[in-house]
Amino acid sequence: MWCCSSSAKFLFDSIIGAGGADTVTVSSDGAMSSNGGSGGIASGICLDNGYIGNDVVVVKNGLRICGKGAALGSAPLVQTKSYFEVKVQQEGTWSVGVGTRNAVLEGPLGADPDSWVLKNNGELCFNSMSIGKLDQKIEEGDIIGVSFDHIELSFYVNGNKGGISFSNVRGTVYPAMYVEEGAVLDVTFDTFIHSPPSGFDKIMKEKSLL
């Protein structure tokens, strides 16, 4: 197991992976602290500890999510064409996509009108409705690419685009992911395993667009 938990707060150590063993403790009120690790929480785009579920744990410089619940990224997808990737580090129940800051972070994403996600079973869900299912089977170790151009929200499995996309995304949205039942996800916002689709690039902070 990559992650384990206690009921009062969550302390994870011996997290293996690039960037060293950075351990983050998330208390029940959402406060986060770090043991220092190798550089602490990344200063760039990462998972935002201000927008996570109470039972979520974020480690590895803010780029790994485990525990139970959802988290949003720290920067919105405001540029014309943006892209990020998520690795299924450990299987379980999970979802990946985008959500507004009104998304429900305690329950599964895709069950409210403020999140649009791909689930571990390949379904694309929004507001508790499935719009279809990808042909590709998603397994542990696979890389999920997410592209958004303010018209379509599309998903890629190991570089191959799925056959269906969302076209009803509204509002200011952020990267969003959900885990439970042992799932562990690693998100990447700048160094990608697969090349982004033509014309797409990493998420840029709003001040970088000026």
**Displacement of CA 55 from its chain's centroid (Å):** 15
- In this structure, whether the domain defined by 9-209 belongs to CATH 2.60.120.920 is answered with yes
pLDDT in tens, 150-166: 999 999 999 999 999 99
Where in the chain are the domains? 9-209
SS3 content of the chain, % helix, strand, coil (to 5): 0, 40, 55
Give the C-alpha separation, 168 to 98, whole Å.
12
pLDDT over 70 (residue 180): yes
pLDDT over 70 (residue 10): no
Give the C-alpha separation, 98 to 101, whole Å.
10
Q: 3-state class of 207 per DSSP? A: helix
Asked whether the CA dihedral 157, 155, 16, 19 is positive or negative, the reply is positive
pLDDT in tens, 21-62: 444 434 333 334 444 333 223 438 999 999 999 999 999 999
pLDDT in tens, 118-140: 999 999 999 999 999 999 999 99
Q: Give the per-residue pLDDT at 6.
A: 37
What is the value of pTM for the model shown?
A: 0.82
